[in-house]
């Protein structure tokens, strides 16, 4: 595989370090009330792993690689789509006083037990 | 298309995606901007996924003959995985959210592990550095997958009790050391060019096997109430694995997204551990709950049961009520009934607040989501540190399905396993009602002093049934007065 940019050694370390710091600062500002959507939202963000799966599968040349690559894409796609679906659903429910909650009940009926 | 052009487009798309992820998460700093934040991140994901298919123009020579099959497989896997998870995510009940987050997290960990496996089985790594990163990505991803699967089974109550056996920690440590050792062996064999004892593929299968096994073993002994910490840890782990994979396949978008999530998960893990006043390693390795069973000090006084309707009426005539929901509320699915009761009290002029303990429920913030689902406006919901001083001037504290988070012995009793854990000061309110299914103890098996206090009254029963009775009682008053 040939790449336009090679990320090696210290350059990789810099990327990791800056991303970790940036993430820490950004996430540190999320209020406790949103911790569940934050968790499922960051869950969704690591669903980007699906594009790694796609790249690995496209470059597969043996059956073993194809099978494992297939699962990588399958699982990654599930991670991304599912993470988005639940996060979006949860965030739509947070309302301040004055909003009508009726719509939410209609869209997301609780499971009957 | 030229492969250089394809690289240019995918590179630009991934850069934009990475920016949109960061920006989207940034918008999560307020409930007002958060919905647009996840949408922004969603666009980033769509863009990156679409662009990744341009890699058909850049594949290795060895993979060229299989390109159409691989492309077909990729599309099928993408549609299948995405549609199944989307459908499930849209239809699942809010009370099952912790399970869903565990599953999706496990899927991500599995994908990260699988990518590492493809690189390893295809011997595509170059140099020791890349090989080590691949093995680490595979290791952490696989642990996250099997660990999240067990966490899911526990949350879904397929596995009801923490599984513990003598020497468990030793066994776990040995299994972990074994996977590390096999990983080291793979590096040694590959770097030195020595012939492995077994075919390389078998060594790799054993490596992933022991790693998956470790994830299972590590999660089995952990109890349900510790799940907020566990879910956060696996969230961070999947992030790290994705980040390492990003380095291996030279994809900076994965490196950045993975590390950001790794940081987020780590932060939440530490917050949760702090809210329990325990270290992360204590949560993972201490078999919590055993300590509580050894010592059972006799309690002064006795639990005073009271009728649900009497409690409801008393609250109707209170000036202020603070409600403390716990996991029992989620189990009873009583969040909507609770808000109905709250609205009834509000219409009679009672001031209502909700007090949320950071580790109430089975994942960080679960109570906030349940209350939001029921329609409770978030300006009524307060976190521990903001509301705790307010209990002293409050008429009634209503505890529903919570136990350890209101146990005053955390403040005073040094021998208590939860000593030092910050608690909600329900005992400081003028009166306290505790809605509880029965006279059992909390998750930790610790007696709760609060239940024996002079101003505490117990309302036994299923939270849903109790709230229905309270609502009826207050409604009855209203019509009598009119």
Section B311-332 average pLDDT: 92
B207 touching chain A per CB within 8 A? no
pLDDT tens-digit profile of B36-64?
A: 999 999 999 999 999 999 988 988 888 88
Is the CB of residue B371 less than 8 Å from the CB of residue B381? yes
Contact residues, chain B, for A90 at CB < 8 Å = 94, 97, 369, 372
**Would you state the pLDDT for residue B377?**
93
Is the CB of residue A43 less than 8 Å from the CB of residue B104? yes
**Would you state the pLDDT for residue A90?**
93
Sheet of strand B396-400: strand arrangement: B381-383, B351-356, B320-325, B396-400, B431-436, B456-460
**Would you state the pLDDT for residue A16?**
93
**Would you state the pLDDT for residue B265?**
92
**Would you state the pLDDT for residue B303?**
83
Res B257 pLDDT > 70: yes
Q: How far apart are CA A108 and CA A97, in angstroms?
A: 20
| Alpha helix (H) residue ranges in B220-334 | 227-248, 252-275, 280-285, 290-294, 308-316, 327-331
Smallest Cβ–Cβ distance between B263 and the set A24, A34, A52 belongs to A24
pLDDT tens-digit profile of B99-110?
A: 999 999 999 999
pLDDT tens-digit profile of B119-177?
A: 999 888 778 888 999 999 999 999 999 999 999 999 888 887 777 888 888 899 999 99
Angle (deg, nearest 10), helices A63-93 and A49-58: 160
- Of all residues in chain A, the one with the smallest CA distance to B368 is A33
Kindly write down the DSSP assignment for every residue of B196-247, as one continuous string. PSS-HHHHHHHHHHHHHHHHHHHHTT--GGGHHHHHHHHHHHHHHHHHHHHH
Section A96-104 average pLDDT: 54
pLDDT tens-digit profile of B268-277?
A: 999 988 888 8
Section A49-78 average pLDDT: 95
The first and second tokens of residue B300, run together, are 């002064």
pTM of the full structure: 0.87
Residue B291 banded pLDDT, cuts 50, 70, 90: very low
Each as own residue / partner, the long-range contacts of residues B37-44 (CB below 8 Å, 24 or more positions apart, any chain) are B37/A41, B37/A91, B38/A37, B38/A41, B38/A44, B38/A84, B38/A87, B38/A88, B38/A91, B39/A88, B41/A41, B41/A44, B41/A45, B41/A84, B42/A44, B42/A84, B42/A88, B44/B16, B44/B17, B44/B18, B44/B19, B44/B20
ipTM of the shown complex: 0.88
The first and second tokens of residue B207, run together, are 């490596």
Section A1-29 average pLDDT: 83
pLDDT tens-digit profile of B430-471?
A: 999 999 887 766 556 678 888 888 899 999 999 999 999 999
Q: How far apart are CA A54 and CA A76, in angstroms?
A: 9
The C-alpha of B101 sits at a distance from chain A's nearest C-alpha, in angstroms, of 6
* A19/B263 CB distance under 8 A: yes
Section B387-416 average pLDDT: 89
**Would you state the pLDDT for residue B283?**
80
**Would you state the pLDDT for residue B443?**
59
Q: How far apart are CA A50 and CA B45, in angstroms?
A: 9
Is the CB of residue B114 less than 8 Å from the CB of residue A69? yes
**Would you state the pLDDT for residue A4?**
53
**Would you state the pLDDT for residue B441?**
62
The values of phi and psi at residue B220, to 5°, are -55, -45
Is the CB of residue B182 less than 8 Å from the CB of residue B203? yes
**Would you state the pLDDT for residue A3?**
47
- Of all residues in chain B, the one with the smallest CA distance to A61 is B63
The first and second tokens of residue B167, run together, are 């020497």
Is the CB of residue B455 less than 8 Å from the CB of residue B431? yes
Is the CB of residue B214 less than 8 Å from the CB of residue B175? yes
Residues within 8 A of B (CB atoms), A 46-65 only: 46-62, 64-65
**Would you state the pLDDT for residue B168?**
84
Longest dimension (CA), chain A: 60
H-run or E-run covering A22: helix A9-28
Contact residues, chain B, for A10 at CB < 8 Å = none
Res B473 pLDDT > 80: yes
Residue A53 banded pLDDT, cuts 50, 70, 90: very high
Return the DSSP state at A111: P
**Would you state the pLDDT for residue B293?**
45
Length of chain B, in residues: 482
**Average pLDDT across chain B, whole number:** 89
The values of phi and psi at residue B351, to 5°, are -85, 125
Is the CB of residue B189 less than 8 Å from the CB of residue B196? yes
**Would you state the pLDDT for residue A105?**
40
Res A2 pLDDT > 50: no
Place of tokens 């998870």: B85
- Residue B404 annotated to the active site: yes
**Would you state the pLDDT for residue A40?**
93
Contact residues, chain A, for B255 at CB < 8 Å = 7, 12, 15-16, 19
């Amino acid at each position: 595989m040939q790449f336009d940019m090679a990320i090696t050694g210290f350059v990789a370390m810099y990327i990791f370090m800056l991303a970790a710091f940036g993430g820490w600062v950004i996430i540190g500002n999320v209020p406790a009330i949103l911790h569940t959507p934050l968790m499922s939202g960051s869950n969704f963000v690591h669903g980007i792993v699906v594009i790694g799966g796609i790249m690995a599968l496209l470059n597969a040349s043996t059956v073993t690689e194809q099978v494992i690559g297939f699962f990588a894409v399958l699982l990654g796609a599930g991670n991304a789509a599912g993470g988005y679906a639940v996060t979006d659903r949860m965030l739509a429910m947070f309302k301040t006083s004055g909003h009508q909650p009726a719509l939410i009940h209609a869209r997301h009926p609780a499971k009957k037990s | 298309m030229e492969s250089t052009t394809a690289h240019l487009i995918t590179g630009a798309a991934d850069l934009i995606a990475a920016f949109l992820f960061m920006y989207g998460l940034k918008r999560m700093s307020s409930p007002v901007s958060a919905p647009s934040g996840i949408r922004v991140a969603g666009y980033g994901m769509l863009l990156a996924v679409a662009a990744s298919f341009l890699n058909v123009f850049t594949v290795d020579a060895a993979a060229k003959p299989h390109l159409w099959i691989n492309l077909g497989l990729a599309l099928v896997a993408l549609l299948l995985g995405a549609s199944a998870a989307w459908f499930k995510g849209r239809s699942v009940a809010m009370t099952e959210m912790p399970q869903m987050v565990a599953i999706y997290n496990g899927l991500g960990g599995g994908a990260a592990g699988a990518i590492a496996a493809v690189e390893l089985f295809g011997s595509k790594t170059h140099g020791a550095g890349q090989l080590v990163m691949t093995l680490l990505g595979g290791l952490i991803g696989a642990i996250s997958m099997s660990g999240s699967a067990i966490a899911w089974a526990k949350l879904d109550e397929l596995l009801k009790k923490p599984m513990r056996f003598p020497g468990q920690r030793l066994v776990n440590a040995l299994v972990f050391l074994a996977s590390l050792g096999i990983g080291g062996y793979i590096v040694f064999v590959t770097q030195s060019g020595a012939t492995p004892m077994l075919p390389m593929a078998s060594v790799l299968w054993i490596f992933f096997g022991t790693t998956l096994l470790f994830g299972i073993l590590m999660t089995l002994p952990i109890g349900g109430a510790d799940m907020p910490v566990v879910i956060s840890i696996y969230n961070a782990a999947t992030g790290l694995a994705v980040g390492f994979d990003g380095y291996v396949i030279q994809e900076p978008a994965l490196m950045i997204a993975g590390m950001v999530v790794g940081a987020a998960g780590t932060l939440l893990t530490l917050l949760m551990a702090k809210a329990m006043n325990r270290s992360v390693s204590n949560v993972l390795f201490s078999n919590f709950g055993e300590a509580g069973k050894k010592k059972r000090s006799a309690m002064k006084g006795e639990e005073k049961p009271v009728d649900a309707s009497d409690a409801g009426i008393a609250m109707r005539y209170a000036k202020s009520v603070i409600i403390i929901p716990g996991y029992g509320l989620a189990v009873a699915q009583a969040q909507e009934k609770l808000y109905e009761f709250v609205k009834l009290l509000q219409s009679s002029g009672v001031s209502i607040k909700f007090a949320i303990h950071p580790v109430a429920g089975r994942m960080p913030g679960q109570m906030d989501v349940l209350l939001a689902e029921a329609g409770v406006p978030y300006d009524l919901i307060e976190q521990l540190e903001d509301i705790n001083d307010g209990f002293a001037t409050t008429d009634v504290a209503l505890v529903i399905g919570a136990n350890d988070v209101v146990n005053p012995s955390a403040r005073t009793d040094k021998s208590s396993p939860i000593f030092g854990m910050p608690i909600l000061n329900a005992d400081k309110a003028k009166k306290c009602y505790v809605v509880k299914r029965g006279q059992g103890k909390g998750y930790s098996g610790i007696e709760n002093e609060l239940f024996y206090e002079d101003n505490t009254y117990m309302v036994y029963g299923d939270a849903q049934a109790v709230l229905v009775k309270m609502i009826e009682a207050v409604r009855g008053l209203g019509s009598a007065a009119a």
